[in-house]
Structure formats: structure tokens, C-alpha cells
Structure 1
Amino acid sequence: MRLSEGKRKRMEALANRAGVVAAAAMDQRGSLVSAIAKGRGVSKDQVKPADLTEFKTAVCKVLSPHASAMLLDPEYSLPALKQVARGTGILLAYEASGYDNTRPGRRPDLLPTSSVRRLVEQGAHAIKVLIYYTPFDAPEINEEKHAFVERIGAECATLDVPFFLEFVGYEEGKDEKGPEYAPKKPEVVARSIAEFSKDRYGVDVLKVEVPVNLKLVERARSFTGPKIWTREQAKEAFRKAASAARKPFIYLSAGVSNEEFTESLELAAESGVNWCGVLCGRATWKEGIPVYAQRGVKGLEDWLSTQGVKNIGAVNSRLGAAKPWYSYYASESAAPLR
């Protein structure tokens, strides 16, 4: 594989000195509205855009010095860019929040007033897009999603900017965090990684789910039951998913607790897989939402300065086993990738 000069430079801006992506995600929109509304005991329409901007700005101000990059959105986060620490990279989300619920398949859409060019002009070192994806969907659904990703990949290539693709598995009518879906999850993750590793999509970094639910892994600290996997079976699921990757991949936290996500990273390390970092959001700051809802931005900043910093530090301390993103290019540093 080769990487263009522009993409290489921007990737260097997103990773730490070891070449590992230690990024924090703050691009949540619809889910953040719901959580703030719940914390205040009000309806969602009483949560204003200014509330989202205020929350995101506080997170950037306090946590960005501890992250190699921040993932933000152009809808509510642009004022927060001013608070991102010097030397911390910027990813901007391109997709609209949520998905099309008027027809089957959780089909994605892009923000109507955004483009890769505009996101780069707004400060992005890289573009991130989220899709909901399962290889078990009907071919006509997945072909639409494949073409969607191809178009974004081509747009990123034209602007010479890295493309981070996040894919989240699902099964209609099932709880993706429950025991019914669990046996299928490792295959969904592995086959999705294999698909979007193909060069035709132009993806530079895969943002992937942990392939097992630790609450269902025997002898995990997070175990609540029922048992779906032994610890060895869980490690094999990590290896199978990683073996499908032909591009650098990083783990997403998927809204689990900080304790569960850090344990997931420990298991990835035990498995010996070639992961390249994290893009971790709610596992770092979600417990600050009720604090913000009840005590405002000053209370949130106080919480972030203590527990939030502790949480991101716990994630960062597990990144020693991660490999540099450029290891997928058979290189010992980013410099030769020209």
C-alpha cells in the first residue's frame, strides 16, 4: 500500500509520538440531546443547540490536551475548535446524525451543507463517516451502502485527506448489546472489516467495534452473564477480526463504561492483534452529562478536570500494546511513506 504525501502529513497530526491514534470523540448529536434531556427531566425539544455547543466546548477545553486528536461535528462543534489544544489533530464528522428510518436497512446520509472540501476548510485533518452495516443485510441494501462509501472515498482522495470509516453492526429486531445478537457479532465485525479494507473504498483507517460484549465473556471483570464466550474464545474473536484488516484499525467505545472499554483494550493486547489506537467518546465523558444537566458548564468542567481526565488517562495507559498506524505500510516510521 502507498499513502499520498497529504494524507501522510495529516495522519501524523492525528497520532501521538508513537504513531498511535489516541483520539477522543465528541461528535455525538442526537444521543447527546436525549441524554441531556433525561438528566434535566425535560423533553428533547427543550435542549437547545447552544447546550450542545457548550457541552462540546467544555470537553474540548479540558480533555483535548490529553488526546492526540478530537472528533467533532460541524453542526454544533465549530466554536469548540478554538478550545482544542495546540498539537491536537481534528477529525470532523460528515454524516447526518442517526439514519433513515423510513425504510429498512438503517441507510446513511450526509450533512446537506457539508462537503469534504468544506470540512477541510473548517479545520479537519481527516474526515469521519459512520454507517450501520451488517453483511447479512439484503444485497440491494448493502450495495447502496457500498456505493455511498466509494463516493466519500473518492472525494477524500481528491482533497488528499484521510478517510476514517466507522461501521456499527446491527440486526433488525434484536438488541445489539444482548445475548441474542452476541454470537453473530464477531462475524459481523470481521466480515465488515474485510469488506471495507478493499482499496476500492479509499478508506484509510477503520474505526471498528470490539468484536465481543465483555459482559458476556466468562472471567471478564465486566461479566454479568449469561456466558456466551470463554476468555479464550473472546481472544480468538479479536484475532479473527484483526486478521481481516488490510488497513489500520482503531477501536470505538460504543457507549460502554470506562471500566469495560479499558478491559476490552487489555483483552486486545492479550490477543496480540495489530490495532492502532482508539477513538473513544462516551466511555470518557458520558458520566459528566447528568453533572452538566444539574450543575451547568462549571460543574461539568470541574468533573472533567478530575474524573474525565482520570478516564482518558485510563484509556491512554492501555495504548502501550497498540501498533503505529504506519505499521500497516510495512514501515518503521511515517517519513518513508511518500
Structure 2
Amino acid sequence: MKLTAGKLWGLRRMADDAGRFKMTAVDQRPPIKNPIAAHYGSQEAPYDDVARFKALLIELLHEQSSAMLLDPHFAIPRGIGHMPPSKGLIVTLEDSVFEETAGGRLSSEIDDWSVAKIKRMGGDAVKVLAWYRPDASDSVNQHQKDFVRRIGEACQRFDIPFLFELLVYPLSSDAHQTKDYVELQGKKADDVLASVEEFAKPDYGVDVFKLESPVNAGDVPGVGNDGWEAVQSVYDEMGRLAGRPWVMLSAGAGKPQFRNILTHAYRAGASGYLAGRAIWLDAFSQFPDWERIREGLGTESVNYMNDLNALTDSSAVPWHAHPVFKDGGARFTPDDASFRHVYGDFA
């Protein structure tokens, strides 16, 4: 796997100086909008409340982050001024409103938003979430594959890293029905692994995977605890199938559970995390008490990130040292005067 100049630079921008990803997700929409709307007893959350919370996340958590993931609806317009330019900027592209069909979920891009616009505004990477179940209908899975492939091709054209998030979800025949952005209870490790295997194919152009735990978060013991070896073997297989740098998402897991997940992921070769709710959900639960939210983010959330970062420093694999880059790791090529002649026109 060779990286073009733009992708290499974007990946470097997302990581810390040692090549480890410590990334905070601020792009969530339903997990923030829905509780606020419920508080007011309204259909929609007031824009100012959602944007204010996201701006607080950026203001108070950027120091612990190597990069932040922002959305174009709320976080970028109201919060990007709080983020120093020394931090990597990842921008989300997928619409949070998916189409639920009898055969499964259909993803789409945010209206009037694109890879080109993310590149043009100075984004360092494009993030996309796609729901996927190997046993969904053929037409649904083909739609999802085409969706991801289309974005991968655009990221290649504009020479910007493609950070791809995969989530399994309940089909109509499953017991645990929910449309919430939470971990599917009773999920099968085989579904997670098969999904990773599919999108690791070169057709999709994924540069970094953002992956969920292949085992329900509450059942992950943490390395060294009872039963950890069996769980570790599943993580090891996920890392093997990913075949490129990857990070873990929290999917609403609690703080202790997510830390346990990271101990397995790092042992399996993960290069860091891209997490949101595990970091800030406790503080957000104080809404609408803004002072208590600020206090919680500035103390409990920061302390938790410091703990995760220490674990990441000691155990995560630097992204540029991933075996996919062969001997010498990820590096700039060609490293001579021919560069300007061989570098493509991506406009």
C-alpha cells in the first residue's frame, strides 16, 4: 500500500507526533439532538443548544486530541474557531438520517456537501459511516457498497484520506430493534468480521478503518482478565482483516468498557481511537445546566482522555508502522525531483 502525497500529509495531520491517533468525535447528530429535543418536548432540538454543546467540546477537549471530527451542520460553523490549526480536521460526509427498508438500511451523503468541499475548506480527512449487515438484502448491500466505493473514488481524486466507519445494525427479523446510534445488542462477531473483510478490498479506497468492537462492549474483559484470550483472538482476526491502519470507536460504551476494548485493540495492532460519547456523555447528561456540563468536560472528560492517551502511548501501534506499508513504513515517494512530474492533477 503506497500513499499519495495528500493522503500521507492528511494522515500525519490526524495523528500525534509519534503517529498515534487520539481523536475526538464531535460530529454526532441524533445522540446530541434527540436528548435536547426530549428535554424541551419538541420534535427538533434548538440549533443554538446543539451548536453550543459542540463548541464546548471543541474548546475544552482539543488539547487532549490529535484531531477532531466535526460536522458541517453545527460543529464547523459554531465551533471551529475554538480549534487551533495545529490539530487535524476530519469532516463527516454521511447524512445521519438513513433510510430504513425491509431489506436493511441505506446510507447517503449530507445534502449539498461533498469530498470536494471538505478538501476545499482545508479538511485533513473525510469520514463516512455506513451501516452494513452481510445478511441484508442483495439490493441494500449493493447500494451500500456503491455508496462507499463512490466516496473512496472521490477521496482518491482529491487526494485526501478516507476514514471509514462500519456499524452493524438490527434487521427487521432481529430481536433488538432500535434506530438509535448505539451498539447492537446480541451482535455476531462474524457479521463484524465479514463486514471488515468486504470493505478492506482495494475497490473501496479506505485508508483508515474506524471499527466497532466485534464483541459486545459489556462482554469485553480487558487484557489480563478472566477469559481475555478468547476475546483477543477475535480482535486479532479483525486487525488482520482490516489490512491497514485502524482505530476503535466507542459506540456509546461506558468509560471502563471502552478502556477494556482498547487494551484488546492495541494488542491486535490498532493505532488509536476516534471516540465521542465515552468521553463526553456523562457531562452532557447534565443538560441544560451549562456550568455543570463545562465542569464535567473540563475535569472528568479531560482526565479520562489523559488516561486513554497514556494507554495509547504505551500500547498502540504508530499508523505509519503498520505492516501494510512494508519495510521502512509509510514515507513520501518519489523523494527526488521527479515528484512534480508524476504527481497527478486531482482537480
Alpha-carbon distance change, 129 to 160 in structure 1, aligned in 2, over 3 angstroms: same
Shift of the alpha carbon at 1:46? 5.5
Listed as ranges, the matches of 1:99-248 within 5 Å are 99-172=98-171, 173-175=174-176, 177=183, 181-182=186-187, 184=188, 186-217=189-220, 230-248=227-245
Q: Which amino acid aligns with 2:316?
A: A
Listed as ranges, the matches of 1:80-91 within 5 Å are 80-91=79-90
Listed as ranges, the matches of 1:60-75 within 5 Å are 60-75=58-73
Alpha-carbon distance change, 331 to 44 in structure 1, aligned in 2, over 3 angstroms: farther
Partner Cα distance (1:198, 1:109) in 2: 21
Corresponding position: 1:23 with 2:23? yes
Q: Which amino acid aligns with 1:127?
A: V
Asked whether the equivalents of residues 275 and 323 of structure 1 are also in contact (C-alpha less than 8 Å), the reply is yes
Residues 43-69 of structure 1: CA distance to partner in whole angstroms, max 9, x if unpaired? Answer: 243521111111011100010111000
Q: Which amino acid aligns with 1:210?
A: S
Segments of 5+ residues of structure 2 without an aligned counterpart are 177-181, 335-347
Listed as ranges, the matches of 1:242-257 within 5 Å are 242-257=239-254
Match of 1:312 in 2: 305
Listed as ranges, the matches of 1:255-294 within 5 Å are 255-269=252-266, 272-291=267-286, 293-294=287-288
Partner Cα distance (2:327, 2:13) in 1: 17
Shift of the alpha carbon at 1:332? 4.6
Q: Which amino acid aligns with 1:285?
A: W
- In structure 1, the residue corresponding to 2:51 is in which secondary structure? helix
Alpha-carbon distance change, 220 to 249 in structure 1, aligned in 2, over 3 angstroms: closer
The one of 51, 56, 59 aligned to 1:58: 56
Residues 45-94 of structure 1: CA distance to partner in whole angstroms, max 9, x if unpaired? Answer: 35211111110111000101110000010011112111113411010100
Alpha-carbon distance change, 61 to 332 in structure 1, aligned in 2, over 3 angstroms: farther
Match of 1:226 in 2: none
Partner Cα distance (2:222, 2:109) in 1: 38
Match of 1:329 in 2: 325
Residues 204-251 of structure 1: CA distance to partner in whole angstroms, max 9, x if unpaired? Answer: 11111111124235x569x9xxxxx94322111111211212221111
Q: Which has the higher contact order (CA 8 A, sep 6+)?
A: 1
TM-score (norm 2): 0.87
Match of 1:299 in 2: 292
Alpha-carbon distance change, 332 to 52 in structure 1, aligned in 2, over 3 angstroms: farther
Shift of the alpha carbon at 1:194? 1.2
Partner Cα distance (2:105, 2:227) in 1: 32
Asked whether the equivalents of residues 66 and 88 of structure 2 are also in contact (C-alpha less than 8 Å), the reply is yes
Q: Which amino acid aligns with 2:108?
A: D
Match of 2:340 in 1: none
Shift of the alpha carbon at 1:31? 1.8
- In structure 2, the residue corresponding to 1:24 is in which secondary structure? strand
Q: Which amino acid aligns with 2:229?
A: E
Q: Considering only aligned residues, what root-mean-square deviation do their CA atoms show, in Å? A: 2.1
Identity %: 29
Shift of the alpha carbon at 1:268? 2.8
- In structure 1, the residue corresponding to 2:242 is in which secondary structure? coil
Partner Cα distance (1:285, 1:134) in 2: 28
Asked whether the equivalents of residues 190 and 242 of structure 1 are also in contact (C-alpha less than 8 Å), the reply is no
Q: Which amino acid aligns with 1:268?
A: A
Number of aligned pairs? 322
TM-score (norm 1): 0.89
